[in-house]
A and B are shown apart, each in its own frame.
Chain A
C-alpha cells in the first residue's frame, strides 16, 4: 500500500484569490508514486486553478508544496518542469501555427553544437514518440491547427511524456476524444502508473475517472470536501460529495465538507 511511502507531491493549505473570490481555499492534497488521484468537482470548483498552481501557471497566495518531502517554490512553468511536473492542459496549450515537433520541444528545443535549432533531430525524436502513441500519425510537417482533435491530443500527451515526467497532471484529458481514443488514453494511464509515475486526473465527470483512480479528492466552491480511496466509497457517495459536499461517514471530511448535522440554510 501507499501508506508507508513518502508522497511524491504534497500540496498543503493552498489558497489563491482572484479579485476577492477565493478560487482555492485552504486545500491540501497529495500524490504517491504510481498512484492515480482523481480530482473531481463541478465546473468552477477550483480544480484547474489548484492544478495550475502546481504546474506553475498561477502563483499561490498561501500554502506549501513539497516534492519528495522537500519544500519547493514554483514561480513559473519552467520551475515545475524542472521538478518533473508535466501538465496536459484542458485547452492542450498548443501553438497552432507550428508543427508537432516544434510543439513537442517548445521551451526545450534541441540545439546543434552551433546553438541553432536542430529541427531534423527534433522531428526524428517526434516521429519516434508519436510512433508509440499514435502509430497512424504522419502529418509531421503540418501546423497542428490542421490536425484532428485526437491528433492534437496525442501531441499534447507526447509533450508531457517525452521529458520523463514523474508527476503528470491531466486536465480533462478525454474531453475532445471519441470512445476509441478515450480507451487509448485509459490504457496509457495504466501503463504510466505501472512505471511509477504519479498522475493527477482532473474531471468534472466521475465516470471518466472513477475506474482509473486509486483515490479521489473532491472539491466544491474552492474547498476540499474530502479525499477517499475508491475501495471504500461508491460512485453515488462520490457524486454526493461533488454535488452536495456531503462526506460519507467512512471518509475524513475536509474543510469544504458539509457537516451532517448542519441545517439546510447553511448548506445553501
Chain B
C-alpha cells in the first residue's frame, strides 16, 4: 500500500499523480503574470496582451518541442536560429518569386507548396547535421556551431541579402493577426473538442488501468485533474474571444462583406490565433512521439545510457539522425510562422533564437545531462521566457537590463531545478 499523507496538499498531489515540476512551472508562470499585472496596472493581463503573448511564443515553442528530444539524447542544436532564417528565406522565395512565375499570384496551392518546400529543406538540413553527428562522430556542439554560421550564410546567399516581401495572402494566415485568427465560434468549438478529448483520455486511462489491474486514481482526483485542464482550455478560449478586432479593421471588413455596422461599433472577436493552434498541434504531436512511440522510447533510453541502448539492439545512430531531422522540420515550421507574421523574410530572421529555444527547453525541465525532459515543460518554458520579455517591455525596463535579467533568470531556473533533482533523487 502507498502510504497516504495527512497534509491535504500532499494528499492532493499524490492522488492526482501530477508532475510536481510542471505544477511548479505553472505556479511560477502564474506569479510572473500576477507580478507583471500589478506592475503594469493590469495592462499585462488584458486579453490583448495575453493574445499577443501567445502569438509571440508560438515560433519558439514549436522549436523548443524538438530541442527537448535533441537535449534528451545528450546533444545540442545551436543552429536552429540560422536554420529558421534559411528555411524562412526558402519559404519566402518559393511563394514570392518561384511559384508566381509558374502559377501567377495568389494561387490557392501556393501557401502549402511553400510550406512543404520549406519543411523539406529543413528536414534535409537537419538530416545532414544529424548524419555528421551520428555517423561521422563529430560532436553536435561543433556540427551545429558550424551550422549556425553556414545556414545564416545560406539564408543570405539565397537572395544575395535581399529582404523578400510580401507573402502570399493565404500564407499570412499562419502568422496571426485579425485574418490569422479563427474567430469566436470556431474558438469555442475547438475548445469544446479539446475538452472532450481530455475527458476521453481520462476515461481511456482509467479503462486501461482497470484492464491490467493497476491501482486506480480516486474518482475525485480524476475530476479535479480533468476539470483543471478543461478550465484552462476554456479560460484560454474566453481570453482569446475577449480581444476584439481593431475597430477600423472591423469596419473595413464589414464594408467589404456588406454587413451593417450596429450601434456602438462592430465587435468581432479574434479567437485563437492560427500560429498558436499550430504550436499546440505540434506540441501534442511531439508529446505523442516522445511518450507513445518506440522512437520516443529510444530517444530517452539513449539519453539515459547510450551504450545500454546500443547493446539492447537500438539503432542509436538512426535515432540521432532522425532527432536532428525532426529539429530541422520544426525550425521550418517556426520559420513559416515568423515569416507569415512579419510578412517578409530577412536574412537576420531568427538570430539568437537558438538561445531562447534552448533556454525554453532547459527552463522547462530538460536536463543537459540527457535522459530527462518533457515537451509540455518546454512549451511552458517558452511561455515563461516570452512573458518575462513582454512584461519587461510593458513595465518599461531598458533593453540592456532586460537581457541581463533574462540571463540571470535562466541560470537561477537551472539552479533551482538542480536542487529539485537532488532532493527528489534522495
User: Across the interface, do B214 and A123 meet the contact criterion of CB distance under 8 Å?
Assistant: yes
Q: Smallest Cβ distance from A223 to chain B, in angstroms?
A: 26
Separation in Å of the B382 CB from the closest CB of chain A? 23
The answer to whether the Cβ of A107 comes within 8 Å of any Cβ in the partner chain is yes
What is the total number of residues of chain B having a CB less than 8 Å from a CB of chain A?
30
**B230 contacts A by Cβ under 8 Å:** no
Q: Which residues of A contact B307 (CB under 8 A)?
A: 91, 93
Instruction: List the one stretch of A41-49, A73-81, A251-259 in contact with chain B.
Output: A73-81
Taking a contact as CB atoms under 8 Å apart, the answer to whether B208 and A120 are in contact is yes
Interface residues of B in 289-329 (CB under 8 A from A): 291-294, 296-297, 300-305, 307-315
Q: Is the C-beta of A97 less than 8 angstroms from some C-beta in chain B?
A: yes
**Does A77 contact B312, Cβ atoms closer than 8 Å?**
yes
Chain B residues, Cβ within 8 Å of A177:
none
Q: Report A-chain residues with C-beta under 8 Å of the C-beta of B165.
A: none
Known A-B contacts A102-B297, A109-B297; A97 and B371 likewise in contact (beta carbons under 8 Å): yes
Interface centre among A77, A87, A95 (most CB of B within 10 A): A95
- Chain A residue with the shortest CB-CB distance to B424: A146
A93: contacting residue among B214, B288, B291, B308, CB under 8 A? B308
Given the contacts A77-B313, A97-B372, A106 and B308 also touching, CB distance less than 8 Å: yes
- B293/A98 in contact, CB under 8 A: no
**Min distance, Cβ B303 to any Cβ of chain A, angstroms:** 7
A64 to B372, CA, bound (A): 41
Complex Cα distance, B293 from A50, in Å, reads: 34
CB neighbours (8 Å) of B162 from chain A are none
**A164 to B93 alpha-carbon distance, docked (Å):** 57
A contact residues around B211 at 8 Å (CB): 120
B160 contacts across to A, CB distance below 8 A: none
Known: A98-B304, A115-B293, A117-B292. 17 other contacts (CB 8 A): A57-B310, A78-B313, A81-B313, A93-B307, A93-B308, A94-B305, A94-B308, A95-B309, A95-B312, A95-B371, A96-B305, A97-B305, A107-B313, A116-B293, A120-B208, A123-B214, A146-B425
The listed residue (B293, B305, B311, B371) touching A55 by CB distance below 8 A is: B311
A183 at the interface (CB under 8 A from B): no
Whether B422 sits at the interface, judged by CB under 8 Å, is no
Contact B303 A97 (CB under 8 A): yes
The DSSP consensus for interface residues of chain B is helix
In angstroms, Cα B302 to Cα A163, docked, is: 22
Q: Point out the residues of chain B lying under 8 angstroms from A92, CB to CB.
A: 308
Q: Is A145 close to B, CB under 8 A?
A: yes
Chain A residues with Cβ below 8 Å from B300 are 95, 97-98, 102
Knowing A102-B297, A120-B214, the reply to whether A77 touches B311 (Cβ < 8 A) is yes
Partner of A102, one of B288, B292, B301, B425: B301
Residue B212, interface by CB 8 Å? yes
- The B-contacting residues of A in range 143-185, CB under 8 angstroms, are 143, 145-146, 159
Instruction: Name 23 A/B residue pairs within 8 A (Cβ), A-sorted.
Output: A76-B313, A77-B312, A81-B313, A91-B307, A93-B312, A94-B308, A95-B302, A95-B305, A96-B305, A96-B371, A97-B305, A97-B372, A98-B297, A98-B304, A102-B300, A106-B301, A106-B312, A106-B314, A116-B288, A116-B293, A117-B293, A117-B296, A120-B214
Q: A102-B297, A116-B293 are in contact. Are A95 and B313 (CB under 8 A)?
A: no
Interface size (A, Cβ < 8 Å)? 33
A78 to B315, CA, bound (A): 9
A98 to B311, CA, bound (A): 16
Closest chain A CB from B211 CB (angstroms):
7
B209 beta carbon closer than 8 Å to chain A: yes
Q: How many whole Å from B361's CB to the nearest CB in chain A?
A: 16
Using known A-B contacts A120-B209, A120-B214, A124-B212, determine if residue A108 contacts B313 with beta carbons closer than 8 Å. yes
Q: How far is the CB of A11 from chain B (nearest CB, A)?
A: 19
CA distance A97 to B371 in the complex (A): 6
Is A234 positioned at the interface, with any CB of B under 8 Å from its CB?
no
Nearest residue, chain A, Cβ from B371: A97
Q: A143–B371 Cα gap in the complex (Å)?
A: 11
Question: How far is B301's CA from A95's CA once the two chains are assembled, in angstroms?
Answer: 5
Cα–Cα, bound, A143→B300 (Å): 12
Contact pattern, B 269-293, Cβ under 8 Å of A = 1, otherwise 0 = 0000000000000000000100111
Question: Which residues, 370 to 408 on B, are CB-close (under 8 Å) to A?
Answer: 371-372
Distance between Cα atoms of A108 and B300 in the complex (Å) = 15
Tell me whether A121 is interfacial, beta carbon within 8 Å. yes
Whether A95 touches B304, Cβ cut-off 8 Å, given contacts A77-B312, A89-B311, A120-B214, is yes
Assembled-state Cα–Cα distance A108/B292 (Å):
14
Residues of A within 8 A of B293 (CB): 115-117
Task: Give the residue among B291, B300, B311 with the most A Cβ atoms within 10 A.
Answer: B311
Interface contact A106-B371, CB-CB below 8 Å: no
A115-144 vs B, CB cutoff 8 Å, 1 = contact: the mask equals 111001101100000000000000000010
Known contacts A77-B310, A87-B311, A108-B313: A93-B212 contact under CB 8 Å:
no
Q: Which residue of A lies closest to B211 (CB)?
A: A120
Q: How far is the CA of A120 from the CA of B309 in the complex (A)?
A: 21
Residues on B with C-beta less than 8 A from A159 are 312
Query: Does B425 contact A145, Cβ atoms closer than 8 Å?
Result: yes
Q: Across the two chains, which residue of chain B brings its CB closest to A109?
A: B294
Min CB–CB distance B188 → chain A (angstroms): 30
One of B212, B294, B308, B315 near A117 (C-beta < 8 A): B294
